[in-house]
C-alpha cells in the first residue's frame, strides 16, 4: 500500500490574503513530491509544510498567469542554494521554458542542478511503473492545462485458502505469489492469477487549474477519487466567472457530480470573500461530499476500496464538517 498525501500550499485566487497564499497543491506519493502550480510565495509554504528542497520533485504548471507560476523562480533559486544535485522536472505550457530562461538571465541566477523543462500537450505526459500524469486543455483566458494523476491497477487480494488448496505452503512462496510471481510446487506451476482476486483500481486525482467547466473536462475527470476544482466565485458572482473564464463553487460541484467523482475540494477563492463557508454550502447542495480548502490543509487519500479521505490536523469548526 502506497500512501498518498495532499497538502494545499496556497488556496487564494489572483491576490494573496492574510490567511491564503497563491495557488499551489503538493502531492506526496511514495516519497515523491509532485507540485501543481507555484504562485508567488510557494517556497515559503514549502518551508512551512517542511517539504524540503532536495527530494525527488516534479512541478506541473497549469497556465502562465503569474499567480500560478511566478513562485517557480524562488523555488529554483532556493533549491540551488540548498545544494540540490537531483534533477528537477518542470512541466507546463509552451512559454514556460522562455520565462525561466529569460528570468535566469535578467536575475543572473545560476542553476546548479539539471533543470528539465517539458512542454505539455493533451494526453499522457509522464508515466512510471505505478502511475500516469494526463493532461487536457480547459477554457481560460490563456491556455490552461488540467492534470490528472492516475494510478495503475493494483493486484487483487491474496486468497490463502486457494493457495493451500493448490498445495502452496505458507511462507516465502506465498509472498512470491503476492508479488506477482509464479511458483513451483511438486513440479506443478501455480500462477498468481489462481490465488489472487480481481485487479483493484488505483486512485485518480484531478486538478483543474483555472477554467470554466467544460464537457471535455467532465470526461477527463471521470470517476476521480478526489477532484480539486477552480471555485473562484460564489453563485451571486456567476457573471464574473463567465466573463473571466473561471468557475463558481456550484459549477465545480456540478462537474464533480456529472463526472461521478467522489470527494470534491474547492480552491482558488477570490480574495473578495472573507469566508468561504457559503461557497462550500452552495456546492454541497449539488455534491454533498465537498470540502473548501484552506492553506496547509492536509489529507490522506485512500484507495477507492478503502474508505474515505482522512483529514489531518482538523480542529474546532472543521472537525464538525
- Which alpha helices (DSSP H) does the chain contain, by range? 42-48, 66-69, 71-81, 95-106, 160-165, 172-178, 192-195, 215-220, 238-244, 249-258, 277-284, 316-319
Nearest CB to Zn ion, comparing residues 210 and 295: 210
| Site mask for Zn ion (CB under 5 A), range 92-131, x = bound | ----------------------------------------
Q: What is the Cα–Cα distance from 11 to 295, expressed in whole angstroms?
A: 6
Q: What is the Cα–Cα distance from 213 to 243, expressed in whole angstroms?
A: 13
In angstroms, give the least distance from the CB of 210 to Zn ion.
Answer: 4
In angstroms, give the least distance from the CB of 12 to Zn ion.
Answer: 12
In angstroms, give the least distance from the CB of 29 to Zn ion.
Answer: 26
CB contact at 8 A, 233 and 248: yes
Stretch that binds Zn ion, among 59-67, 87-95, 272-280, 292-300 (CB under 5 A): 59-67
Nearest CB to Zn ion, comparing residues 39 and 206: 39
Question: Is 84 a binder of Zn ion (CB under 5 A)?
Answer: no
Looking up cell 515523491, which residue turns up? 32
Question: Is 268 a binder of Zn ion (CB under 5 A)?
Answer: no
CB-neighbour burial class of residue 259 (10 A; exposed 0-12, middle 13-18, buried 19+): buried
Looking up cell 524540503, which residue turns up? 52
Nearest CB to Zn ion, comparing residues 65 and 204: 65
Grid cell of 150 as nine digits: 492516475
Do you know the residue count of the chain? Answer: 321
Nearest Cα to Cα of residue 82 among 107, 46, 40, 29 = 46
Nearest CB to Zn ion, comparing residues 58 and 65: 65
Among candidate residues 67, 210, 230, 295, the one labeled active-site is 67
Nearest CB to Zn ion, comparing residues 23 and 259: 23
Tell me how many residues contact Zn ion (CB under 5 A). Answer: 2
Stretch that binds Zn ion, among 38-46, 197-205, 208-216, 307-315 (CB under 5 A): 208-216
Stretch that binds Zn ion, among 122-130, 152-160, 202-210, 270-278 (CB under 5 A): 202-210
Question: Is 29 a binder of Zn ion (CB under 5 A)?
Answer: no
Nearest Cα to Cα of residue 283 among 229, 246, 240 = 229
Dihedral of alpha carbons 9, 14, 16, 19, sign:
negative
65, 204, 212, 250: residue in contact with Zn ion (rule CB under 5 A): 65
Question: Is 210 a binder of Zn ion (CB under 5 A)?
Answer: yes
Q: What is the Cα–Cα distance from 72 to 78, expressed in whole angstroms?
A: 10
CB contact at 8 A, 140 and 268: no
Is 67 part of the annotated catalytic residue set?
yes
Grid cell of 51 as nine digits: 517539504
Stretch that binds Zn ion, among 110-118, 183-191, 203-211, 262-270 (CB under 5 A): 203-211
Nearest CB to Zn ion, comparing residues 208 and 262: 208
Looking up cell 492469477, which residue turns up? 193
Stretch that binds Zn ion, among 34-42, 76-84, 165-173, 204-212 (CB under 5 A): 204-212
Nearest CB to Zn ion, comparing residues 65 and 284: 65
- Positions marked catalytic: 67
Q: Contact residues for Zn ion (CB under 5 A)?
A: 65, 210
Amino acid at each position: 500500500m502506497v500512501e498518498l498525501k495532499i497538502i494545499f500550499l496556497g488556496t487564494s485566487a489572483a491576490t494573496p490574503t492574510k490567511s491564503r497564499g497563491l495557488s499551489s497543491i503538493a502531492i506526496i506519493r511514495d516519497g515523491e513530491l509532485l507540485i501543481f502550480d507555484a504562485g508567488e510565495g510557494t517556497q515559503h509554504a514549502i518551508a512551512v509544510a517542511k517539504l524540503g528542497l532536495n527530494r525527488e520533485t516534479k512541478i506541473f504548471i497549469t497556465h502562465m498567469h503569474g499567480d500560478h507560476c511566478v513562485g517557480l523562480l524562488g523555488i529554483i533559486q532556493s533549491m540551488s542554494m540548498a545544494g540540490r544535485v537531483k534533477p528537477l522536472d518542470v512541466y507546463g505550457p509552451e512559454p514556460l521554458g522562455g520565462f525561466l530562461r529569460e528570468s535566469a538571465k535578467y536575475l543572473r541566477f545560476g542553476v546548479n542542478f539539471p533543470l528539465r523543462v517539458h512542454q505539455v500537450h493533451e494526453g499522457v505526459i509522464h508515466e512510471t511503473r505505478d502511475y500516469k500524469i494526463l493532461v487536457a486543455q480547459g477554457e481560460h483566458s490563456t491556455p490552461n492545462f488540467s492534470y490528472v494523476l492516475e494510478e495503475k491497477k493494483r493486484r487483487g487480494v491474496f486468497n490463502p485458502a486457494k493457495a493451500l488448496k493448490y498445495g502452496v505452503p505458507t511462507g516465502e512462496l506465498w509472498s512470491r505469489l503476492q508479488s506477482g510471481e509464479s511458483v513451483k510446487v511438486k513440479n506443478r506451476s501455480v500462477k498468481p492469477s489462481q490465488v489472487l482476486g480481481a485487479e483493484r483500481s488505483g486512485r485518480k486525482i484531478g486538478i483543474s487549474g483555472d477554467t470554466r467547466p467544460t464537457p471535455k473536462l467532465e470526461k477527463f475527470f471521470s470517476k476521480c477519487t478526489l477532484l480539486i476544482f477552480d471555485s473562484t466565485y460564489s453563485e451571486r458572482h456567476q457573471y464574473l466567472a463567465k466573463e473571466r473564464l473561471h468557475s463558481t463553487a456550484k459549477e465545480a460541484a456540478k462537474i464533480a457530480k456529472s463526472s461521478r467523482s467522489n470527494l470534491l475540494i474547492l480552491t482558488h477563492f477570490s480574495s473578495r470573500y472573507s469566508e468561504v463557508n457559503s461557497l462550500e454550502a452552495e456546492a454541497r447542495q449539488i455534491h454533498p461530499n465537498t470540502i473548501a480548502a484552506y492553506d496547509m490543509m492536509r489529507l490522506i487519500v485512500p484507495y477507492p476500496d478503502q474508505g474515505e479521505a482522512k483529514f489531518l490536523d482538523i480542529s474546532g469548526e472543521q472537525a464538525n464538517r
